[in-house]
Amino acid sequence: MSTIPDPAELLALCEDLARTAGEHARARTADHGGVARTKSSAVDVVTAVDEEVEALLRARLAELRPDDGVLGEEEGSVAGTSGLTWVVDPIDGTVNFLYGIPSYSISVAVVSGSADPLTWTAEAGCVHAVALGTTWTAARGLGAWRDGERLGPRPAPPLARALVGTGFGYTVEERTLEGALVAQILPQVRDIRRLGSAAIDLCLVADGRLDAYYEIGLNPWDMAAGSLVVSEAGGAVQGLTGGPASPAMTIAGGYDLVEELAAALRAAGA
């Protein structure tokens, strides 16, 4: 069994992987070839670049960390023996990427203990927003950074003055639920933003450009790196009733605001 490197070393590797993958995505932006296939619905799309970036990340990890597990959006899960799992989203914000909207990112995180957001310990993560030219990083116990600048806790407004990010799934069932929920939350907040990359949304909460964020139905790879950036920046990331964030619900923001938003979501029937 290989030894587990410290979070600083893992962070350097997350960033290196995300930046290398980012170069590939950048080179393929203008010529991505459109939709290669669809997943959960006709609008849940995958481009060749999603697949190429994930293959690139897996090849680098096989070389550098052969005993670690990998969980990725396009190719699923491969168990490891080291106790570490790399949780990767090759392009988070694929629809933005497809349309040439710059809000997409490569999200690379490494977790220990399990590959389940309810029980894992996130060790390090990097969200690299290739076309925005912004990179967020975090390592357990060491802090969070945007482009090398340390992020810290910031005062959050009450819910009534909060700018709240959210996102929607891809199926009719998910969207019907999410639409009903957002219709109840919108009148209670400053405004809602739907920017299209959950990983970036979480990082915007960490650096104060959103006050809070919530979403139902995130996958582990959407939230792994961004959630660590929020918590290492001094923010809260939780589920609907205060436990860990999970695919059921992810809520992020300053501690008091997250409590207020969670209560509003519960009252709205989430």
Query: For 218, what's the count of Cα atoms within 13 Å in the CB-facing half-sphere?
Result: 35
Is 89 marked within a binding site?
A: yes
* Residues 253/173, Cβ–Cβ less than 8 Å: no
Extended strands (E) in the chain: 35-38, 45-47, 69-72, 76-78, 84-92, 105-112, 121-129, 134-139, 143-146, 149-151, 163-166, 191-193, 212-215, 236-238, 250-253
Sequence-distant (6+) residues with CB within 8 A of 95 are 43, 45, 196
Residue 267, Cβ neighbours under 10 Å: how many?
Answer: 11
CB of 66 to ligand IPD, least distance (A): 26
Has 67 been annotated as catalytic? no
Catalytic-role residue among 85, 94, 137, 166 = 94
Is 91 marked within a binding site?
A: yes
Token pair, residue 40, equals: 């959960």
What residues numbered 27-86 form the site for ligand IPD, per CB under 6 A?
Answer: 73
What residues numbered 182-211 form the site for ligand IPD, per CB under 6 A?
Answer: 196-198
User: How many residues bind to ligand IPD according to rule CB under 6 A?
Assistant: 16
Q: Is 92 in the site for Ca ion (CB under 5 A)?
A: yes
Q: Between 144 and 223, whose beta carbon lies closer to ligand IPD?
A: 223
Select from Ca ion, ligand IPD, none the partner in contact with residue 167, using the beta carbon and a kind-dependent cut-off of 5 to 8 Å.
ligand IPD
Question: Mask: binding to ligand IPD, 164-183, rule CB under 6 A, as x and -?
Answer: ---xxx--------------
Among positions 93, 125, 220, 253, the unique one binding ligand IPD when judged by CB under 6 A = 93
Q: Give the residue closest to ligand IPD by C-beta.
A: 167
Buried b or exposed e, range 231-245, using 16+ CB within 10 angstroms: bbbebbbbbbeeeeb
List residues binding ligand IPD (CB under 6 A).
73, 89, 92-95, 167-169, 196-198, 215, 217-218, 222
Q: Which residue numbers are catalytic?
A: 73, 89, 91-92, 94, 222
